[in-house]
Amino acid sequence: MFTGIIEELGRVTSSEQRGENARFIIAAQLVTEDLHEGESVAVNGVCLTALDVSDHSFAADVSRETLDRSTLGKLQPGAPVNLERSVTPVTRLGGHLVQGHVDARGEFLGAEDFGGSWTVRIAYPPEIARYLVFKGSVAVEGISLTIAELTDEYFAIAVIPKTWQLTNFSQLQPGDAVNLEADVIAKYVERILSFSQPSPAS
């Protein structure tokens, strides 16, 4: 479990195909300080298991399912990635509950600068539309954000200078794919309600 508050901008140093799967090596300074083998770390919003942890890097194996559903399959050496360690019982929940389970890929449409803060527009696929609400939470590239505008094709989010500087947002180009994770509470509510509907009369 994560909060969507990015701790560090890491960088992919190696990408290796292993059959239908892949292994990445990611350079990092902060998240590796107390990261141990087998622990979870979010990479662009995808929950991965840290392997071969050193003071300055860690490796992660990525399955075909994750490569197909997320943007990780497009990562090349040198690519910047948003990193967050998993929460602990005493972590401040500064964002919202983020599982690191990507629901879909969206499209970065562009960012408008408003004197140091930015309004970012993200196109989303129809299958997650029902989970998005005005002023609700959404994770984009693992970043906990609030929807400031919502249309049938895209949502807009306000990005403060700190988030712009610390994450990969500043390096995205229009047309780039981004990882999207809807609020898990909305998904649980939908599931519960699907079992609470009265059965049709026989």
Q: Could you read off the pLDDT of 73-98 as tens digits, one per residue?
A: 999 999 999 999 999 887 777 888 89
Spatial CA neighbour of 140 closest among 153, 117, 158, 126? 158
- Asked whether the beta carbons of 170 and 177 are under 8 A apart, the reply is no
- Sheet bearing 8-18, strands edge to edge: 46-49, 40-43, 80-85, 8-18, 21-27, 57-62
Other C-beta atoms closer than 10 Å to the C-beta of 38 total 9
Alpha helices in 49-182 (DSSP H): 64-69, 161-166
Q: Which residue has the higher pLDDT, 157 or 198?
A: 157
Which CATH number does the domain 8-85 belong to among 3.30.1360.120, 3.40.50.720, 2.40.30.20, 1.10.3470.10? Answer: 2.40.30.20
104-190 maps to CATH 3.90.190.20: no
**197 pLDDT tier (thresholds 50, 70, 90):** low
Angle at 85 between CA 83 and CA 89, to 5 degrees: 150
pTM of the complete model: 0.90
Positions of CATH 2.40.30.20 in the chain? 8-85, 104-190
pLDDT at residue 198 in the model: 66
